[in-house]
Every structure is written in structure tokens, then in C-alpha cells.
Amino acid sequence: MNDDILAGQWTQMKGSMKSWWGQLTDDDFEDIGGQKDKLIGWVQEEYGRTREQAAHEVDARLKEYNDKYGGTVADLKAKAYDIGETVAGKATEAATAVRSGVEKASSYFQEKTFDSIGADVTGLVRKYPVQSVLIGIGLGIWLARSGKH
């Protein structure tokens, strides 16, 4: 993991860092600030390692983190793109369905007379009485609320 990636992922790595180096405090974490050289110096000082040992340990831990989570970012980006494509496809399907429904409704109202529409509504109310009452209540509430504004 290079220094730029380390600096960019520093805050996300906090939990892993603390699990690797239990003596790492929040203040230490802030002081190091994603700088690999400072982290190596901190490990060297806190754990009594040589500079080479500390560098090797830090590199091993960063590689472990990158192997575990590094691909995850790329995977998430790819999945987000796929989801975006799916959503766009579904939105297009929904728009087509709405357009078709509006066209059918328009055709229905153009072909029917007022009396035949009333007969259709009466048939629906008889077939679905509970739902019709609930729709009526909902419309009444909506009309009452819209009249207050």
C-alpha cells in the first residue's frame, strides 16, 4: 500500500490499527495522520523494534489490510455501477408502463359515455366494497386537507 492510499484510507483503518497495535491511542492515531514513516517510528518506539523490524511489521500489516479490503472498494464500485444500470432499466420499464396506462385510460375515457363510466364504477364498488370505502375515506381526507391550504 503506497503512502497516498494509506493517507486516504487512514480513518477507515482505525479499528484494524488498534487491533494490531493495542497501545495505539486516539491521540497517536491523530498524530500519525496516515503517514507511513510516522507509523513505522511509532511502532519502533512503542514496541522496542529496530527500524527495519518496524518497517517490515507495518508493511506486512498494510499488505494484510489491502488484501482483505483493497479489492472491496473496487468490488463496491462495480456493484454500484451494476445497481445503477439495473435502476435505470427499471425506471425505463416503469415509464413505459405508466405511458401505456395513461394511453389506455385516455382511450377508455374517449370511448365511454358518462353513464357507462358510472356503471363501471358501480360494478367496481359492488365487487370491492371495503376497498371502495377506504378509497372514499382517503379521497375525503385528501380533499379536506387540500381545501385548508
Cell of 137: 375515506
Neighbour-count burial of 43, counting CB atoms closer than 10 A to its CB (0-12 exposed, 13-18 middle, 19+ buried):
buried
Q: Which of 56, 26, 28 is nearest to 40 (CA)?
A: 56
Cα dihedral across residues 27, 30, 36, 37: positive or negative: negative
Q: Please give the model's pTM, rounded to 2 decimal places.
A: 0.46
Per-residue pLDDT tens listing for the chain (149 residues): 656 557 677 778 888 888 888 888 889 888 998 888 999 999 999 999 999 999 999 999 888 888 887 655 556 666 777 788 888 888 888 889 899 888 888 888 888 888 888 898 999 999 999 999 999 999 999 999 988 76
